[in-house]
C-alpha cells in the first residue's frame, strides 16, 4: 500500500520564506494576530488526519466504489468513509476557514489550502465530499439572502450537512446556456424544479442527514442562453424556518456513473421532479453567482492534482531507492549488489525530478493564489483588494489547467519509475494515474480554461494583468541580475517574459481577422503562461535557498531546492520554445481539414 508523509517543511518554506506570509497576514486586520507557530501546529495535526485516517481508505474506496439502492435512491459509500467524515467533523476541520459569524474558525484560506493538499494526496475521492461542501458554503456566503445564510451556513460550516453544485446536463457540459432544467414559481415564493443533472459529484451519500444542492435552472420567462440561468438552493430534505428537517424533497439519485477513477466518490445522475428550492441572488443572474463556487472549485481541482503529484512522487522515490536493476552506464556503483539501484539511471532521475518540480512549483502557485484571495476578501485597502482579485482571476485557469496537465504527466512518470509494478494495483500508483485523469476534464475542461485565459483574461483586458505579473518578474530580474549563481534561473525567465509580449500581441492581431486563431493557439499559450508563472516561483525559491546557503545554512533542504530549480529550468522550462512555434502555426492547419473527416 502507498505511504505518505505530509510535506510540511516545504509548505512552511513557501508560506514563510517565499511568500512572507506572517507579514502579509499582519496587513489583514482579521488575521493580524495569527502566527506561524499556530499555523504549523494546525497543519501538523491536519497531516496526521490525512496520513493516518484517509490514506488507508484510498485503496478501499477504489476497490469498493459506491453502491446505489435503486428502490430507496440511497447511496452507500465505501467502508470507513462515513466514519472518517465523522472524525473530520469532530476535529473541527470543516470550519477551518469559515466565517466565525456562522461557527467558523476564521483562519486564512491559505491554511485551508495546505490542509486540502494533504487530504487530496491521501484520498482525492473522499476529499471531494467536504471540498464541494466548502464551495457551496462560499457561494451562499457571497450570494445567499440573510435567511438562506442563517438556515444553511451554520450546518455547512459544522459539517452537519454537506453541499453540491448541480450544473451539468446530458446534452450540455461546459455550455450551460443549453441547460433545460425548469423552475416554476410557487405561491409561497419558493420554486418547483424539474429536470435531470449528470456528473454530480457527492450528489448522494450516507455521511450526513441533509445534502444542500445548488442547482442551475431556468425560470418560465428566462431569455435563451447563459443570460437566462438562475441559481436555486434545493435541499435533500426540506428545511423548515427553524432549521428542522421536513419531508424528503423531490430530488434523488437516479444512477451512479461508472468511472475510470475516483471510485470512492459518488458521481450521480440527479433527478428533480418538482423539487422545492429557493432562489439564490437575482433572477437570471445565477451563472455569475455560481462562478463563486466554480472558481473555487477550479483552484480546488488544481489542488487535487497537486496532491496526487506529491504522493506519487513520494512513492516513486521510495521505490527507486530500494529497487536494483542493471548497472550504471558510467560504471558499477554498488559492487556488493548484483545490480545497481535504479536511481543511478539518468532517465529515472528525470522522471522523479519532473514530478518533484511540478509538485513544488504547483504548491508555490496554489498558495500564492490562496494568499491573493485572502487579500481580496480582507485587505483594508480597496486598491490592493482589486489588484489581488484581478491577479487571481488571471491565474485561476492556469492553476486549473497547467497543474492538472502536470499532474497527469507526473503521475504517469512515477508509474513508469515502478516499471511493471506500477501497472499492478497493489502498489497503488495506477490509482493515482486514473484519479488524476478526471482533473483535466471537470470544472471546465483544460481547453476551456485555455480559452478563458487567452480570450478573456489576457486579450480581454489588453494584457493589463499579465503586464502586472511581468512587473513582478522584472523586479526579480533587476534585483538578481548581478548575482552569477542566479543566472541559470533569471536569464531564461527574463527572456520568456520579453517574448511573451510579442507572442501575445501576435496572436491578438491574428485573432482580429479570424477568431479561430484564439482557439488554435489557446492550449499552447496557457502552457507557455504556466511555465512563465512557474518559472517566476522557481526563481524565487532558488533565490531564497541560495540566500540561506550563502548565510551559512547546511540544511540539505536548500541544496535540494536549488538542484530542483536547476533541473526545472534546464529540462522542463525549454518546452516553451516549441509551444510558441506550434501556437504560431495558426488555425489553417487545423481547420482546413474537411477531407480528413469526410
Among candidate residues 138, 169, 430, 443, the one labeled active-site is 443
Buried b / exposed e over 522-547, threshold 16 CB at 10 Å, is: bbbbbbbbbbbbbbbbbbbbbbbbbe
- Verify whether residue 44 is a known catalytic residue: no
Handedness of CA 118, 119, 123, 127 (dihedral sign): negative
Helix, strand or coil, per DSSP, at residue 32: coil
Pairwise CA distance, residues 95 & 153, whole Å = 10
Residue 551 burial (CB count, 10 A):
8
CA nearest to 253, candidates 71, 124, 77 = 71
CA nearest to 465, candidates 527, 536, 388, 526 = 388
CA nearest to 288, candidates 365, 248, 360, 231 = 231
Pairwise CA distance, residues 98 & 92, whole Å = 11
C-alpha neighbours within 13 Å on the C-beta side of residue 169 = 18
> Which grid coordinates belong to 271?
433527478
CA dihedral 305, 311, 314, 316 (to 10 degrees): -80
Residues 6+ apart with CB under 8 A from 138: 292, 293, 296
Residues 6+ apart with CB under 8 A from 261: 62, 125, 431, 434, 435, 436, 437, 438
Pairwise CA distance, residues 480 & 542, whole Å = 11
Pairwise CA distance, residues 282 & 155, whole Å = 24
Q: Which residue has the cell 472549485?
A: 297
By the 8 A CB rule, do 58 and 125 touch? yes
CA nearest to 193, candidates 241, 143, 251, 246 = 251
By the 8 A CB rule, do 45 and 119 touch? no
CA nearest to 254, candidates 438, 72, 442, 443 = 72
Catalytic residues, which ones? 443
Amino acid at each position: 500500500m502507498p505511504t505518505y508523509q505530509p510535506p510540511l517543511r516545504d509548505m512552511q518554506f513557501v508560506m514563510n520564506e517565499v511568500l512572507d506570509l506572517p507579514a502579509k497576514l499582519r496587513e489583514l486586520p482579521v488575521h493580524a494576530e495569527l502566527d506561524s507557530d499556530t499555523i504549523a501546529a494546525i497543519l501538523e495535526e491536519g497531516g496526521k488526519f490525512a496520513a493516518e485516517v484517509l490514506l488507508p481508505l484510498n485503496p478501499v474506496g477504489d476497490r469498493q466504489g459506491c453502491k446505489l439502492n435503486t428502490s430507496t435512491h440511497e447511496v452507500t459509500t465505501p467502508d470507513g468513509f462515513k466514519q472518517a467524515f465523522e472524525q473530520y467533523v469532530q476535529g473541527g476541520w470543516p470550519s477551518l476557514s469559515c466565517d466565525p459569524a456562522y461557527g467558523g474558525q476564521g483562519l486564512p484560506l491559505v491554511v485551508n489550502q495546505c490542509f486540502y493538499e494533504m487530504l487530496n494526496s491521501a484520498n482525492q475521492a473522499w476529499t471531494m465530499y467536504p471540498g464541494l461542501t466548502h464551495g457551496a458554503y462560499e457561494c451562499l456566503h457571497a450570494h445567499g439572502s440573510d435567511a438562506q445564510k442563517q438556515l444553511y451556513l451554520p450546518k455547512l460550516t459544522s459539517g452537519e450537512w454537506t453541499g453540491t453544485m448541480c450544473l451539468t446536463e446530458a446534452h450540455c457540459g461546459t455550455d450551460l446556456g443549453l441547460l433545460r432544467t425548469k423552475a416554476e414559481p410557487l405561491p409561497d415564493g419558493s420554486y418547483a424544479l424539474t429536470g435531470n443533472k449528470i456528473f454530480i459529484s457527492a450528489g448522494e451519500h450516507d455521511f450526513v442527514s441533509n445534502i444542500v444542492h445548488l442547482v442551475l435552472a431556468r425560470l418560465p420567462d428566462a431569455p435563451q442562453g447563459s443570460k437566462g440561468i438562475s441559481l436555486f438552493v434545493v435541499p435533500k430534505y426540506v428545511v423548515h424556518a427553524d432549521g428542522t428537517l421536513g419531508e424528503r424533497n423531490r430530488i434523488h439519485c437516479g444512477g451512479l456513473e461508472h468511472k475510470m477513477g475516483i471510485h470512492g466518490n459518488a458521481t450521480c445522475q440527479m433527478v428533480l421532479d418538482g423539487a422545492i428550492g429557493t432562489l439564490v441572488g437575482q433572477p437570471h443572474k445565477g451563472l455569475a453567482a455560481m462562478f463563486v463556487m466554480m472558481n473555487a472549485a477550479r483552484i480546488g481541482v488544481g489542488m487535487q492534482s497537486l496532491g496526487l503529484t506529491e504522493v506519487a512522487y513520494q512513492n516513486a522515490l521510495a521505490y527507486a531507492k530500494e529497487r536494483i536493476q542493471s548497472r550504471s552506464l558510467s560504471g558499477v556503483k554498488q559492487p556488493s549488489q548484483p545490480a545497481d539501484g535504479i536511481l543511478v539511471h539518468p532517465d529515472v532521475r528525470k522522471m522523479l525530478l519532473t514530478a518533484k518540480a511540478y509538485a513544488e512549483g504547483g504548491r508555490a502557485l496554489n498558495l500564492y493564489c490562496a494568499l491573493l484571495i485572502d487579500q481580496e476578501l480582507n485587505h483594508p485597502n480597496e486598491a490592493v483588494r482589486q489588484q489581488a482579485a484581478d491577479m487571481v482571476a488571471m491565474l485561476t485557469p492556469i492553476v486549473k489547467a497547467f497543474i492538472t496537465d502536470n499532474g497527469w504527466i507526473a503521475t504517469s512518470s512515477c508509474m513508469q519509475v515502478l516499471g511493471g509494478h506500477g501497472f499492478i494495483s497493489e502498489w497503488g500508483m495506477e490509482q493515482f494515474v486514473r484519479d488524476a485523469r478526471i482533473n483535466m476534464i471537470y470544472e471546465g475542461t483544460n481547453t476551456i480554461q485555455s480559452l478563458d485565459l487567452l480570450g478573456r483574461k489576457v486579450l480581454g483586458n489588453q494584457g493589463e494583468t499579465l503586464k502586472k505579473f511581468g512587473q513582478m518578474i522584472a523586479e526579480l530580474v533587476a534585483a538578481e541580475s548581478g548575482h552569477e549563481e542566479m543566472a541559470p534561473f533569471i536569464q531564461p525567465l527574463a527572456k520568456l517574459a520579453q517574448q511573451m509580449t510579442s507572442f501575445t500581441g501576435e496572436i491578438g492581431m491574428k485573432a482580429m481577422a479570424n477568431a479561430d486563431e484564439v482557439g488554435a493557439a489557446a492550449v499552447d499559450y496557457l502552457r507557455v503562461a504556466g511555465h512563465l508563472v512557474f518559472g517566476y516561483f522557481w526563481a524565487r525559491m532558488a533565490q531564497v535557498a541560495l540566500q540561506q546557503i550563502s548565510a551559512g545554512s547546511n540544511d540539505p533542504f536548500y541544496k535540494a531546492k536549488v538542484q530542483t530549480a536547476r533541473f526545472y529550468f534546464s529540462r522542463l522550462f525549454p518546452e516553451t520554445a516549441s509551444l510558441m512555434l506550434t501556437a504560431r502555426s495558426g488555425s489553417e492547419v487545423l481547420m482546413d481539414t474537411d477531407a480528413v473527416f469526410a
